[in-house]
């Protein structure tokens, strides 16, 4: 299968592209290479004759049209997105431009491409988030009939993109599949996300910032499980359907932070003998901070034969060990020298 993968140099995208090449597909990766996209994540596949890379903005009509014309894909896996909630509060326009306008440009290009080939077998796989549904209280989970109620500019931009994708299926019959996932974790994730952020502050002997009381709950899904779900939807999903990928692994933010600290205590112990958990500090909560997310993946499990297999305790330890071994992914460039040295010393101490 010939796949265009947008955002393929990002966290989930790079994991998907590497899996696709290993599975024998031909892939054109399109990525703007903003701060969150890094070619190092694609090092495994860059030499492959079945992989091509295009640096382009998905909102660039000419670039996208040329990519469809030259590569002639059988499917699009649309992962490109601005994705950090905190940044969306400060820079909402960037999120609208990429997540909404960019999705519109892709849908239009896909529709023209599909129409040129008289409706040949094709799929537009639109990858989204659980945040489009808003927030939950202490019970229940989001399902296929949950209403959209986004509470951040990021969530609103992704909700708009979901609606566009569905509309292009209903109005123009474009074969669209929508997926929503819970919080991903694993190798290659950007340093701004929760797990690497906790690690970065811990290893730098700095306060570990946790919003509010730390009681906000997230459902965690290993990126490999998510990629397996996307592959299942691509090969076995039905156009017009939505599939929810959740890990059935809910944790309070403060509990996850404590778990990370316990693993660090074992893998990179402090010379003082204390615990990194002593550095956990509660900071002023961010605006509109959703209390709890949880997805019911039953439909995807039953229809696609998919299931999340990652065990959080095991995979979290592996993820932390990966970051310790690859500190350049843990550290923003402005503190890379200082923190990188500390991480390297910790690795040497346990090797």
Q: Please report, in tens digits, the pLDDT of each residue of the chain (351 residues total).
A: 999 999 999 999 999 999 999 999 999 999 999 888 889 999 999 999 999 999 999 999 999 999 999 999 999 999 999 988 888 999 999 999 999 999 999 999 999 999 998 767 899 999 999 999 999 999 999 999 999 999 999 999 999 999 999 999 999 999 999 999 999 999 999 888 999 999 999 999 999 999 999 999 999 999 999 999 999 999 999 999 999 999 999 999 999 999 999 999 999 999 988 999 999 999 999 888 999 999 999 999 999 999 999 899 999 999 999 999 998 888 764 433 333 444 433 322 222
Burial class from Cβ neighbours inside 10 Å (0-12, 13-18, 19+) for residue 271 reads exposed
CB of 335 closer than 8 Å to CB of 327 = no
What's the pLDDT at 117? 82
Reported in sequence order, the residue ranges of the chain that DSSP labels E, i.e. its strands, are 2-6, 26-31, 51-55, 75-78, 123-129, 176-181, 183-185, 208-211, 217-222, 242-245, 250-252, 280-283
48-67 pLDDT tens trace: 999 999 999 999 999 999 99
Alpha-carbon distance of 151 to 149, in angstroms, equals: 6
Helix 194-203 crosses helix 336-350 at what angle (to 10 degrees)?
80
User: Which residues touch 324 (CB under 8 Å, ≥6 apart)?
Assistant: 267, 268, 330, 343, 346, 347
What's the pLDDT at 86? 86
What's the pLDDT at 326? 92
Hey, which residues are catalytic here?
130-131, 154
105-118 pLDDT tens trace: 999 999 999 999 87
What's the pLDDT at 336? 38
Q: Domains plus CATH for the chain?
A: 2-185+220-245 (3.40.50.720)
What's the pLDDT at 119? 67
CB of 184 closer than 8 Å to CB of 11 = yes
What's the pLDDT at 232? 98
């Amino acid at each position: 299968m010939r796949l265009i993968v947008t955002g393929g140099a990002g966290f989930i995208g790079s994991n998907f592209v590497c899996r696709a090449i290993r599975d024998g597909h031909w892939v054109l990766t399109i990525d703007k290479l903003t701060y969150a996209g890094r070619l190092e994540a694609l090092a495994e596949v860059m030499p492959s004759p079945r992989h091509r890379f295009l640096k382009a903005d998905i909102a660039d009509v000419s670039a996208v049209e040329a990519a469809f014309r030259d590569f002639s894909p059988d499917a699009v896996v649309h992962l490109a997105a601005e994705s950090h909630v905190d940044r969306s509060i400060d820079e909402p326009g960037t999120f609208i431009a990429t997540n909404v306008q960019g999705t519109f440009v892709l849908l239009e290009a896909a529709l023209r491409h599909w129409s040129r080939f008289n409706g040949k077998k094709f799929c537009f796989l639109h990858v989204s988030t659980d945040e489009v549904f808003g927030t939950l209280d202490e019970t229940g989970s989001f399902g296929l009939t949950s209403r959209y109620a986004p509470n951040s500019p990021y969530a609103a931009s992704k909700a708009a993109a979901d609606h566009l994708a569905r509309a292009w299926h209903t109005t123009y019959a474009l074969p669209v599949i929508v997926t929503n996932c819970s919080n991903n974790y694993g190798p290659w994730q950007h340093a701004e996300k929760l797990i690497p952020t906790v690690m970065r502050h811990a290893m730098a002997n700095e306060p570990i910032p946790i919003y509010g009381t730390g009681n906000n709950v997230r459902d965690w899904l290993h990126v490999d499980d998510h990629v397996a779900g996307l592959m299942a939807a691509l090969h076995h999903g039905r156009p017009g359907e939505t599939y929810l990928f959740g890990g059935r692994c809910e944790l309070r933010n403060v509990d996850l932070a404590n778990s990370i600290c316990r693993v660090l205590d074992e893998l990179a112990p402090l010379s003082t003998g204390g615990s990194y958990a002593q550095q956990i500090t509660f900071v002023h909560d961010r605006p509109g901070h959703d209390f709890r997310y949880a997805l019911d993946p039953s439909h995807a499990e039953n229809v696609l034969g998919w299931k999340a297999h990652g065990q959080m305790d095991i995979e979290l330890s592996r993820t932390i060990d990966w970051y310790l071994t690859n500190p350049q992914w843990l550290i923003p460039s402005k503190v890379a020298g200082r923190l990188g040295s500390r991480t390297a010393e910790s690795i040497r101490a346990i090797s």
